[in-house]
Amino acid sequence: MITKKGKRKFLTVIAVLLVLAIPLAFFGWYKFFREVDQPDWITSDPNANFLYGSIASEGEAGIPYWIVVVLPRIFGDQYLPGPGGYAALGLPWEEGKEFPAGFSKKTVGFDRVGFNCALCHATQYRLEPEDTPTIVAAGGSNTADIQGLLEFFSKSAKDPRFNADTILREIDLAYRLSWIDRQIYRYLLIPLTRKQLIEQGEDFAWADSRPRWGPGRDAPMNLTKFNFLGMEDDGTVDHTDFPAIWDLKSRVQIDRIWPADDHALTAEWTRLDIPPSELMLMNLAGDTTSFRAVLIDSALGLQARNNAFFHRRMADLEKWLMELSPPEYPLPVDQQLASAGLKVFESHCAACHAPGRQNRLGTVIPLEEIGTDPNRALAWTREAADAANEKVAEIGVERTPMSRPDDAGYTAVHLSGIWLRAPYLHNGSVPTLRALLEPVQCRPGNFYRGYSVLDRRHVGFVSRRCNGGPVSRPPGCEPVQSGCMAEEEGWRYQVSERGNSNQGHEFGVELGRDDKQALLEYLKTL
C-alpha cells in the first residue's frame, strides 16, 4: 500500500521529469525538426525557386550543410574530375550563388542541403568559350554528371578521412560551430551521413554494370525499378537525356491516345475526378499519363516528403511550367531563310512535331517505324508500372497512373526551344540538328558531349575535338565545317555502346542542302 509520503515522492519525481522533459523536447524539436522558410529571394521568384527552392526533400534525404560545403575541399582532388568543386561535375553554377542549380538549402532543425528538379533540368550555354554560361531553368541539364555526383558522395564516405576530426577541422577553417552544434556534428550528423552515403552508393551499384550515363543523362526507368520499387536487376539499359520541361501547354492531350475503355486509366480518372481531356501522355516513351505525375514521381525519387508543402510545390511548379516559354535563340536569324524553312517544316516535320493541330504530336511512334535505339522503350514494363502505382498509393499520394503503351516506341515531342536541347534523340546520340538530317552512316560515331558552346552552323553544341586536320567522313557525307575544342571539357560519347545507338529517325535525310539549311534556320525560331 502506497503511503501519503510515498505518493508525494512519486508525484514529485513525475513533476521533475515533466519539467525536464519539456525543455528537452523543445531542444530536440528546435535542433532537429524545426522548419524555417527559405529566404524571400528564392520563394518570391519562380525562376529562382525552380533553381534553388525546396521540394520537401531536405527532411528525408538532406545532407548537413557544412558537410556539403567541405566535402570538395577534402576529397575533390581525388574524387572530382577537376577543380571548381561541384562545378567540375558540370553542374550549372551562377556567379554569386552558394551552390549550383539543383541544390536547395533549408533549415530543418539544422541547415540541410537537398536536391530539386533543377539538378536534371537546368541548361547552360555559351556563345564563345570565354563567356560566362547563361543558365536556363527547365531545360535539360546538358552538362550535369549526376552519376559522377553520386559516386563522389559514396567514394568520399568510404574514405577513412570521412571522420569527425577531419571534417570538423575543415569546417573550422570557414566557420566556428557552437559547442552544442559541434557535438551534434561529431556524434550524430557526421557518422549518420557517412552511413547514409555509403548505403546510397550501394543502392546505385547496379549502374556500374552498364555504360556510363555521361553528362546530361540518367537511367529514369531503372532508377524507378531498382531504387524506388526495389525490383531485381533485369540487366536492361535505359540511358535517357534529360528533357526540357518548359512550355507544357503545347503538349498534346492523352484522350486522343488512350482508349476510353482502358480500365486502369478510367478508374483513375473517376477516383481523382479528373476528366480525360486534362491528362497528357508524358515521358519520352509515353509511360506517364500527366505532367503532375511526372513531377510527383521525380520528387519522390529525390525522397521528398508527402506533406501539404510538397503538394503545393507540385501544383505551383506545374502551373509555372505550363506557361514558361523557352529562351529565344541568342544570335541573329536570317528571317527570309527561316520563312523558307517553315515551308520545309510543314511538309516534312509538322505531322509529328507541330502543336495545336490533329497530328501525331504526343503519340508513341512504334519502334519499327521510328527505328531508334530500342533499349529505353523496352526497359519499362506493365508490371513495373503497376508496382509503381501500388507503391505511390501506399505512400498516400494521389496521381494519375503510370502505364506502358502496348506498342513500345518513343513519343513525338514538341520542338519549342529545340536549339537548346542538344544532343538529339532520346539517348542524346546525335550531336546537332544538322547531323540528325543525315543518314545514319554519316552521323558521328563518337563525339564529345557536355561542352556548352553553341554550334552556330549545325545547331546544337560544339562536339568535336581539335586535331589539326580534317574530319574523316564516309563517301557521300557532307564535310564537317564547325568549331572544335570540345574534347578538353567534354565527355566522349560512343554510339557503339549498348543503349547509345544513333540509328533511326531518318526523316528529312533526302532533302537537298539548301532545304536543310533553311529548315535549320527555322528551327532556331521555335
Cβ pair 120, 146 in contact under 8 A: yes
Could you tell me if residue 225 is inside a domain? no
Q: Which three cell numbers stand for residue 220?
A: 529514369
Distance CA 368, CA 407 (A): 10
Q: Which of 218, 250, 274 finishes a domain?
A: 218
Could you tell me if residue 167 is inside a domain? yes
163 and 111 both lie in a single domain? yes
Domain range enclosing 348: 241-523
381 and 448 both lie in a single domain? yes
312 and 203 both lie in a single domain? no
197 and 75 both lie in a single domain? yes
Q: Which three cell numbers stand for residue 126?
A: 555559351
In 354-380, which positions are buried (b, 16+ CB within 10 angstroms) versus exposed (e)? bbeeebbbbbbbebeebbbbbbbbebb
User: Where does 380-512 have alpha helices with state H?
Assistant: 382-395, 433-436, 486-489
Q: Distance of CA 383 to CAs 309, 416, 499, Å? A: 31, 33, 22
Could you tell me if residue 233 is inside a domain? no
Could you tell me if residue 271 is inside a domain? yes
In 10 A of CB 94, how many CB atoms? 18
For residue 245, which of 312, 321, 307, 183 has the smallest C-alpha distance? 321
289 and 303 both lie in a single domain? yes
203 and 337 both lie in a single domain? no
Helix/strand/coil (H/E/C) assignment for every residue in 105-172? EEEECEEEEEECHHHCCEEEEECCCCCCCEEEECCCCCCCCHHHHHHHHHHHHHCCCCCHHHHHHHHH
What's the sign of the alpha-carbon dihedral 85, 91, 92, 96?
Answer: negative
Tens place of pLDDT for every residue, the chain, 526 residues?
Answer: 556 666 666 566 666 666 667 777 877 777 788 999 999 999 999 999 999 999 999 988 899 999 999 999 999 999 999 999 999 999 999 999 999 999 999 999 999 999 999 999 999 999 999 999 999 999 999 999 999 999 999 999 999 999 999 999 999 999 999 999 999 999 999 999 999 999 999 999 999 999 999 999 999 999 999 999 999 999 999 999 999 999 988 765 544 444 444 444 444 444 445 454 445 567 888 888 778 888 888 888 878 788 888 889 988 998 899 889 999 999 999 999 999 999 999 999 999 998 877 788 888 899 999 999 999 999 999 999 999 999 988 888 888 888 888 889 999 999 999 999 999 999 999 999 999 999 999 999 999 999 999 999 999 999 987 654 445 567 778 776 556 678 888 999 999 999 999 999 999 999 999 999 999 999 999 9
Distance CA 253, CA 31 (A): 47
pTM, full prediction: 0.90
207 and 281 both lie in a single domain? no
Distance CA 77, CA 342 (A): 50
10 and 85 both lie in a single domain? no
Distance CA 418, CA 400 (A): 28
446 and 356 both lie in a single domain? yes
- Helices 146-158 and 190-203 pack at an angle, to 10 degrees, of 130
357 and 372 both lie in a single domain? yes
Could you tell me if residue 230 is inside a domain? no
Cβ pair 440, 506 in contact under 8 A: yes
Cβ pair 511, 518 in contact under 8 A: no
Helix/strand/coil (H/E/C) assignment for every residue in 398-410? CCCCECCCCCCEE
Element (H, E) at 318: helix 308-323
Could you tell me if residue 224 is inside a domain? no
Residue 208 CA, chain-centre distance (Å), reads 19
Count: domains in the chain: 3
18 and 83 both lie in a single domain? no
63 and 14 both lie in a single domain? no
Q: Distance of CA 345 to CAs 338, 340, 365, 523, Å? A: 10, 9, 19, 8
Q: Which three cell numbers stand for residue 188?
A: 550524430
